[in-house]
Structure 1
Amino acid sequence: MQNQMDVARMEMQFYTDLFNRMVDGCFKKCVPRFHDAELNTGEQVCVDRCIAKYMDAQNKVGEILQSEQQAQMATQGGPPGGP
């Protein structure tokens, strides 16, 4: 039970860090100056595309890591405690 809580906590920290890096990077790229309280159309489009690219990259990295982990488990004879 404690291990599941630790994993959940680490996952939450990971996603919080990802969100913060994504917001910081996309904001710096897409909103060079503050003129209005709201984003203009160009800034909105830029932010949407930036976030989509960030998420695509994150998903691809996750898929690669998962494939590598599965390959490593296969070469080691499966997960610990398995048959």
Structure 2
Amino acid sequence: MEGLTQAENRELEQRLQKRQVKEFMSMFNTMVDGCFVPCVDDFTSKALSGRETGCLTRCVAKNFAATGRLSERFAEQSAAMQQAQGQGR
């Protein structure tokens, strides 16, 4: 970024990386709580059953689809807000 020293750039980069890791872990924990917990209930085998595998596959796919759609809607709303702000000037 312009106007920042090298040390400030490094600090900013480190903070952004920490935030990305934190967001990834939050998403991972959401997947575990939302998919693994309801789908996997038989711990008598190391392998997942066909039912468990199917349940996990559907659940994760739905989560990714929902996240993608939310991202699209956020981008649409953000663009609309920026356009509205530009017209108001």
TM-score w.r.t. the length of structure 1 is 0.78
Unaligned runs of 5+ in 2: 1-8
Q: 1:54 to 1:4 in 2, by over 3 A?
A: same
Sequence identity (%): 29
Q: Verify: 1:34 aligned to 2:38, yes or no.
A: no
| Distance in 2 between residues matched to 1:71 and 1:13, nearest whole Å | 29
Unaligned runs of 5+ in 1: 79-83
In the TM superposition, 1:67-78 aligns within 5 A as: 67-77=76-86
TM superposition shift of 1:43? 0.6
| Distance in 2 between residues matched to 1:71 and 1:11, nearest whole Å | 26
Runs of 4+ off more than 4 Å: 2-5
TM-score w.r.t. the length of structure 2 is 0.73
